[in-house]
Structure 1
Amino acid sequence: MSLIIGTVVISLLCLLTLPHLKFAFNFEQFFPTGDKDLEFFQEFIEEFETDDNFLLIAFVNEPSIFDTSFLKRLKTFSIACQDVSYVTSVQSLPLFGFPTMSPIGPIIKNAVHLDNPSLLKKDSIRLLNDERILYTLVNEKATATAAIIKTEDEIQIKESKIIMHEVDSLLSAYNMENYHILGRAYFQTELSELQFKEITISTIISGILISIVMIFIFSKWRSILIALSSIGLALLIFLGVLSLLGRELSLMAALYPILMLIVGTSDVIHIMTKYFDELKSGKLKKEALEVTIKQIGMATLLTSLTTAVGFATLLSSRIIPIKEFGINSAIGVIIAYIVVITFTCPLLTYFSNDQLLNYKKSKFNWTRILTWSYNYTLNNGKRIVYMSFLFLGLSIYGISLIHTNYELQKNLPQGAKITEDFMFFEKEFAGFRPLELAITIKEGYNVFDYEVIDAVARTEAYVKSQAEIFNAFSLATMIKSINQMLKGDDPSAYKMPTQKEYERVSPFLDKIPLMGSEVLISKDRRKTRISSRIKDVGAENIQKVSLEVDDWISNNIDSSVVTIKQTGTGIILDKNAEFVRESLLYGLGIALLIVSLLMGLLFRRIRFLLIALIPNIVPLLFAAALLGYANIALEAGVSIVFAIIFGIAVDDTIHFMSKYKLAKDRNNGDKEKALLITFLETGKAIIYTSIILFFGFLVLMFSSNLPSVIIGLLISVTLVSAVVADLFLLPVIIRKFDD
């Protein structure tokens, strides 16, 4: 009774900590640690600024944005946004100006004549042909214009929520309708809210599903209540532990309730099914529990450890949220097992057989079904082997089709406003993914030397010539603007001056306050940058563009004048595509080694160890092949599928092999008798847990997050292959190799 009370008290204390659970989402979480390019990018940020410190708001006004009333409202809104917390500057079409020479020197003149509507037509023609404006502040059809709100660097969820609250208030106050938002503050605010919603929905649906399954399996309401209480307490304690440890829940946190409910259910079913079978055989409660803990409890401990090891393989990832997901899930698996032992097992002994057992004959004749399965493997061994080799060949081909060309849009919640907004900017403006080129000036040259500016200008021009890149901003932008100013504000003069003309331009470089110019040069004036954005065309396609740019730079830019290196948030995130396969194979290799050692301790025979491992390669191959055939990109989020599959699939194999070993030892080494007993006593629990696993992960189909949907489908379908391998391939292997 003390164990039961202790478990309940701990769970209640954990319940009190749930309001303190932390949610987090920012792109820096997904940067691969230990990468030289990341170190370079972090140095770049210190010298300049982050490349995602913006909030873009695109306002749609049809048939044209060049409407006096609309532009005046936009101007007052933009000015008001300058007072929003954590905002450093605001730019929009009514505030934008060109450098113009006046009698008192260079000044900034508004590009839009709000005080003279008759000139708006002329303004629109000029602006739509200006590369500084098109796709940055105005779309090609002139039906939308963007306000660019710069924020402080590396704002977190708390600051983001404050910004979005104040911006939303201004949007309402100035009657700004039909708009789309993009940027760090918006992402963090929306995605953190979606996280909480996803966790709540997945927990409720999983709970309902498991309740239905428990009713089907146990029938008696007390048995069902014991099972559900055990699972619920395990989930409460798990979330409480995460809260006490100060863990921040990332986008993958929606998987935690499902994992805990499924893992806890699996443990409960194996323990309770065995206990009930022992009671039905005539044993007293104490003796039945002792047998259950001795035979199933130890096997369940091993399966919990192997499942935890499967999740722990994610520690090989370079991505912090995936590492934390692995650690947290491993902790959860162990908590689920402890709760079953300290709560479920002792609680069962407080109820009579009549209160727990259903003596009615099941509608399913499990003996007949499982005996048929046993006979099929006995009589069709060669056919099963041939089918296995065919499966292997098809899997290898499917694996050869795997790619890593993931897109950001596919990681956003489907049907949500945030995704609609993202796609609007992809279609109408320059997109979201930042692309930075860091330019280091060599000794003997200064930042404003013509050779340096010329290298910057030619590089910027080549970058903008790429079909996927629509805008860029650099010192060359300033130079061309000043050249235009000095030539009577002639739009055709917006171009790089000759070296001789540059002598007239250079004195004005520190005198023209163009927006953004203050972050184009490092403090020591030894570095500058080209800042641009690239469309979300997929990691592999972007890598091709990146290689083309690097190749052009190496062939056309004098490295004795400047060196140029690509960097930025997008580049660093895309590095994950390079590391995901490496860390995946390394992690699974370590998992196989550790699981082998654990199985070695249980079975104490190398042959048993090898027999047990073979069926668990099947679901891994199947999952990888499905990725290839379904044209699903192997990216960081999807890669966790393999850890989950391996960690869970090995459980049924251990239960099957453990029972087989016990039955063989008790029947004087008779393999066939041992296999038949194993089918009849363990097969039902394996099928039950597999059904729960299948439908449990299928709950993720209700997610608005596409990677979660993919993970749910992959795991559900793949775990079917795992139970097929355990019940059909494993017995054939045992007959062949267990002498």
Structure 2
Amino acid sequence: MTYQTTRVKLSYDLQKSVPTSAEEYIDYEKFKSVFGDEGNMMLVAVKSDQFWDFNFFSDWVKLNNDVRNIKNVTNVLSPSSSVNLVKNSGLERFDMVNIFDPPPKNQQELDSLKQVFMRLPFYEYRLYQPDSSVYLMLISLDRDVLSSIRRITVVDEILQQTTQFEKKYNLELHYSGLPYIRYFQLTTISAEIKMFLILAVIVTILVLFILFRSWIAVVFPLLIIGSGVVISMGLMSLMGYKVSLLTGLIPSLLIVIGIPNSVYMLNKYHVDFKRHGNKIKALTSIIERIGYATFFTNLTTAIGFGVFTFTGVEMLKEFGIITFISISATYLISLIGLPVIFSYLPKPKERDTNHLDDKIFRYIIDKLITWTMHNRRAIFISATVIVIASIIGLFKIKAEGFFLQDVSEKSKVYKDLVFYENNFNGIIPLEIMVAKKQIHETIYDTIISEKIPLSEEDSIITYDTLIVNRRESSGISITSISTLEKLNALQDTLASYPQFSHSLSIIDAMKFARQAYYNGSPRFYELPTQSNLTSNDSRAAAFLKNSQQKSLSENRFIDPTGSITRITVQMEDIGSDSMPELIAELRPKIDSIFNPEAYDVSLTGTGIVSLAGYNYLIKSLIGSVVLALILIAIIMGLQFRSGKVLVLTLLPNLIPLMFTAAIMGYFNIELKPSTVLIFSVAFGIAVDFSIHFMAKYRIELVRHSFNVKETVLVALRETGVSMLYTYIILFFGFIIFAFSEFEGTKNLGILTSITLTIALLTNLLLLPSIIMYFDKNLEATHRKKYQKGKGNYADLINENNKESKN
């Protein structure tokens, strides 16, 4: 397993949060099979009034060239590398000419070339924002490196060049695009995995040493947990899983979750050894007594994670499988390894067991006992108030996801996204794929050559260019004039929405070509309609057909069969609530332009898939939480064999979940996959307190002749300290995640710590109070069962009687 940990790889792909059977996933895969992955563009923007100053522009040209020379950068497009189409009448084609090549030698030349650039509407709002002096550099990366570690190196090399430019002019460049966003996520995940692992180890060492005041009680539990971490990473490698934002948390989580096993076992070992001084007997009792309780506590914790296996979402399944197996393996290693190791070590000295008499913890336990014995009414009233307030808070929870939902609003990547939204209406890709069905319909078509003979079906509409009303000969061609007009109409519709940037399609290439044919006059940057089509427009189409640029544009915007085209647009991060509403509003307008009987129009892209994935995740996770609650309740029911005890035990563990949900509602913390995770994970951990308390309570109930009050006191005194120890480790173990750059991870740490705090209080105050409130009924029931020698604890009674004699 140790060797396998060296083969674990980081996941460089966007996590698939949508089931493969989902319509959104199918549409996106179909789009990629036709046009490839659209997420290979990195954006760099500069806002400066001196952009067109000669020195500044010259350095921008140099930056452009330096970036283009980086390996795996396939193309760079910015104002300084923009091209113009120039009519070549001799060859009847358009030539692509770089506007600023050769570079201008002085300000006068630059001003002259600037005028040429500014007369090209094609670049307006695509390479620059005329209203705010913002200029873009679009950097295309080789798609083959997007799924490898090379993508990090490429972006690093780009940032090295841009950082020098920033320093020279003392300004800030703004970065975005999927390669940059993924770069930020990957580098942050990689750094945080190391940081959290180190912090988890440091916190564990400090807490264990402070609690037990012995290096033996620190080193060996850490070695045992370390083996569990190695198993988890080795499993990831063996099963072909890669490290993601979620699975990257597993090593730290295992340290935090696995250590309580050692705490309970060491505490039990020290308590029993202090009682009778027999080391082997004390170690044996770990397996006999604590082993039973820790089996159920680890099972409930493992289930809290394992239920994610049934979500149908790949990244959650991987997380659920690895954590379930790893927690189970860590438990077995602890149960076997700890007694074996300590059996070879010397007997505990007096100073090793002094922690059992720690004044601070004893004071806390005594206070809790006092409140439980004398302030039950106040405890019940407080619990009722919390429940009522929590129910109110539950109705305030909002469930909405965003493309950058886990990224802190204080981070540069988020601030830059807002910058692009303010200046270019966003950067999240939305693709509209239009496929023409193979049917026969009567359409308007253009015949370039006047020598084509007319058939009996043709009717002449205009004599400027011969246009006939004829059945389409190609059957599925997407470039007929009627289809092009529809594409243009759809782009005009998109332009009316402030959520969208300026769209791009084959239409824009045709408009550019038409402007070039008319010697660069901006007023000809438009698509001619059937009513105003001229012979010059037909010749412009012929020029484009003869140009290399025509094939280039078709490769990007039209599939090889000529039956499918695309409209590319970027959009704002409007959220999972607004996205379906926007699509629902667009769909009727699209259908009014493209007859569904003649065209298949699908909306896809990273934005749609990502936000659809959020909805799938939320539904899956809520189902997982419910499943976890049911399974854990069943397990506790099998353990306690009493419906009443089960209900009384579950109540103190449901209140913390309600309290945490209320905090989310009151503080506007949205329901996200990362926050939904908290409920099943925290519940699985929180019930451990109840299981340990109730296990001790059941044993001591027999020993104390079913005196509930006295039994509760004994159970609190012995398990209370272990529960406090465990809570401290868990609290500080989870709170380290609050230092994450990702809001989701941060919320996971803070809210889980809060949940565990409330769970500790409810299990140390509310649970004993509930038991004592129902003491008469419980005592009578137990007395009746045990006096007859029947029920589930007959063997336990006999064992306890023998132990008492010994």
What is the TM-score normalised by the length of structure 1? Answer: 0.89
The answer to whether the Cα contact below 8 Å between 1:156 and 1:188 also exists between their aligned partners in 2 is no
Contact 1:230 1:343 in 2 (8 A): yes
Task: Give per-residue Cα distances to partners, 1:670-721, cap 9 Å, x unaligned.
Answer: 3222222211111111122112211211111222222211211111112111
Deviations 1:331-385 (A, max 9, x none): 2212321221222222223221317623378452545543442443344444434
Kept in 1: contact 2:478–2:484 (CA 8 A) = yes
Q: Can you list the C-alpha shifts for 1:432-456, whole angstroms capped at 9, x where unaligned?
A: 2111111122333631122211221
Pairing 1:219–2:213 present: yes
8 Å CA contact 1:322–1:637 kept in 2: the answer is no
The residue that corresponds to 2:284 in the other structure is 290
Q: Please say if 1:458 is aligned against 2:446.
A: no
* Aligned residue number for residue 726 of structure 2: 689
- The 1:31/1:130 distance shift into structure 2, 3 A limit, reads farther
Aligned-pair CA distance for 1:173? 10
Is 1:193 equivalent to 2:184 in the alignment? no
Alignment-derived partner of residue 271 in structure 1? 265
Cα distance, 1:424 vs structure 2: 4.5
SS at match of 1:709: helix
Q: Which moved more, 1:82-91 or 1:664-673?
A: 82-91
* Matched residue, 2:127: 137
Q: Please identify, of 689-698 and 702-711, the stretch whose mean Cα deviation from structure 2 is larger.
A: 702-711
Name the CA distance, whole Å, in 2 between partners of 1:539 and 1:126: 42
Which residue among 288, 293, 301 is the counterpart of 1:307? 301
Q: Does 634-643 or 113-122 show the bigger shift?
A: 113-122
- Does the residue aligned with 1:358 lie in a helix, a strand or coil? helix
Match status 1:209 vs 2:203:
yes
Specify the alignment match of 2:25 in structure 1: 38
State how far apart, in whole Å, the 2-side matches of 1:373 and 1:673 are: 15
Q: 1:492 matched to which residue of 2?
A: 523
Instruction: Quote the offset at 1:199 in angstroms.
Output: 1.6
**1:133 Cα shift?**
1.9
Relative to structure 1, the CA distance from residue 635 to residue 524 in structure 2 (aligned partners, 3 Å threshold; closer, same or farther) is farther
1:48–1:225 CA distance, 2 compared to 1 (3 A): closer
Q: Which residue does the alignment assign to 1:7?
A: none
What is aligned with 2:617?
A: 580
1:87 Cα deviation from its structure 2 partner: 4.2
* 2:505 counterpart of 1:510: no
Q: Could you say which residue in structure 1 is the equivalent of 2:674? A: 637
Report the 3-state secondary structure (helix = DSSP H, G, I; strand = E; otherwise coil) of the residue aligned with 1:593.
helix
Q: Structure 1 stretch 290-299 or stretch 170-179: which is displaced more? A: 170-179
Tell me what 1:3 maps to.
Answer: none
Distance 2:757 2:356 in 1: 27
Q: Which amino acid aligns with 2:502?
A: N
**1:172–1:555 distance in 2 versus 1, CA, 3 Å:** closer
* 8 A Cα contact 1:694 1:716, kept in partner: yes
CA-CA distance at 1:165 after TM superposition:
5.8
Deviations 1:466-486 (A, max 9, x none): 112122101221232233234
Residue 430 of structure 2: which of 422, 435, 458 is its match?
Answer: 435
**Partner AA of 1:107 in structure 2:** D
Give the greater-gyration-radius structure (CA).
2
Alpha carbons 1:199, 1:253 under 8 Å: kept: no
Contact preservation (8 Å) 2:270, 2:353: no
CA distance in 1, matches of 2:126, 2:54: 20
- Secondary structure of 1:473's counterpart equals coil
* 3-state secondary structure, aligned to 2:149: helix
Structure 1 partner of 2:505: 474
Letter in 2 for 1:434: P
> Deviation at 1:137?
1.6
Q: 2:462 — aligned with what?
A: none
- 2:478 is equivalent to residue 447 of structure 1: yes
Aligned Cα root-mean-square deviation (Å)? 3.1
Aligned length: 725
Q: CA deviation at 1:219?
A: 1.5
Corresponding residue to 2:333 among 336, 339, 362 = 339
**Could you list the runs of 5+ residues in structure 1 that have no partner in the other structure?**
1-12
Asked if 1:717 is matched to 2:717, the reply is: no
Matches within 5 A, 1:4-403: 14=2, 16-58=3-45, 60=46, 62-71=48-57, 74-75=60-61, 78=64, 84-104=70-90, 105=92, 106-112=94-100, 114-115=103-104, 117-118=107-108, 120-121=110-111, 124=114, 127=117, 132-140=122-130, 141-152=132-143, 155-161=146-152, 163-164=154-155, 167=158, 179-349=173-343, 350-354=345-349, 357-359=352-354, 362-364=357-359, 366-367=361-362, 369-403=364-398
State the AA in 2 paired with 1:392. Answer: V
Counterpart contact for 1:311–1:326, Cα < 8 Å: yes
Q: How far apart are 1:246 and its partner, in Å?
A: 4.0
Match in the other structure for 2:400: 405
Greater alpha carbon shift after TM alignment, 434-443 vs 501-510: 501-510
Q: Give the deviation of 1:130 after TM superposition.
A: 5.6
Distance 1:618 1:370 in 2: 22
SS in structure 1 opposite 2:531?
A: helix
SS state at 1:539 partner = coil
How many Å apart are 1:280 and its aligned residue? 1.3
Further displaced range: 169-178 or 679-688:
169-178
Shift of residue 269 of structure 1?
0.7
CA distance in structure 1 between the aligned counterparts of 2:302 and 2:156, rounded to whole angstroms: 41
DSSP 3-state at the match of 1:466: coil
Distance apart, 1:391 and its partner CA: 2.3
Q: Is the 8 A contact 1:223 1:356 kept in 2?
A: no
2:697 maps to which residue? 660
Letter in 1 for 2:126: T
- The 2-side partners of 1:314 and 1:364 are apart by 42
Query: Are the equivalent residues in 2 in contact too, given 1:157–1:185 (CA < 8 A)?
Result: no
CA contact (8 A) 1:403 1:633 kept: yes
Which residue identity lines up with residue 197 of structure 2 in the other structure? T
| C-alpha distance in structure 2 between counterparts of 1:232 and 1:595, whole Å | 27
Local SS of the residue matching 1:25? coil
Q: Which runs of 5+ in 2 are unaligned?
A: 441-475, 782-806
1:656-676: CA deviations, max 9, x gaps?
121122222333333222222
**Alignment partners' CA distance in 2, 1:374 and 1:172:** 62
Per the alignment, in what secondary structure is the counterpart of residue 281 of structure 1?
A: helix
| Counterpart AA for 1:436 | E
* Bigger shift: residues 236-245 or 617-626: 236-245
Seen in structure 2, the aligned counterparts of structure 1 residues 247 and 564 have a Cα distance that, compared at 3 Å, is: closer
Question: What are the equivalent positions in structure 2 for 1:409-428 lying under 5 Å apart?
Answer: 409-412=404-407, 418-419=413-414, 421-428=416-423
Shift of 1:569: 0.7
**SS of 1:21's equivalent?**
coil
Residues 135 and 402 of structure 1: CA distance in aligned 2, closer, same or farther (over 3 Å): farther
Question: Contact 2:121–2:525 (CA<8 Å) still a contact in 1?
Answer: no
With structure 2 as the length reference, what TM-score do the two structures score? 0.82
From the superposition, tell whether residues 633 and 560 of structure 1 become closer, same or farther in structure 2 (CA, over 3 Å). same
Map Cα deviations across residues 288-337 of structure 1 (whole Å, 9 max, x no partner): 12222211111111111111110012223343223222222222212321
Offset, 1:172:
8.8
Moved more, 632-641 or 264-273: 632-641
**Matched residue, 2:461:** none
Partner AA of 2:95 in structure 1: I
The 1:294–1:462 alpha-carbon spacing in structure 2 relative to 1, beyond 3 Å, is same
Matches of 1:410 and 1:582, distance apart in 2: 17
| Equivalent residue number for residue 536 of structure 1 | 573
Aligned 8 A contact 2:213 2:355 in 1 = no
More moved, 30-39 vs 642-651: 30-39
- Greater displacement, 100-109 / 264-273: 100-109
Work out the percentage of aligned pairs sharing the same amino acid: 24
* Helix, strand or coil at the partner of 1:43: helix
Secondary structure, counterpart of 1:101 in structure 2: strand
Cα distance change of structure 1 residues 176 and 375 upon mapping to structure 2, 3 Å threshold:
closer
Query: Which of 87-96 and 322-331 deviates more?
Result: 87-96
Aligned equivalents of 1:273 and 1:165: distance in 2? 50
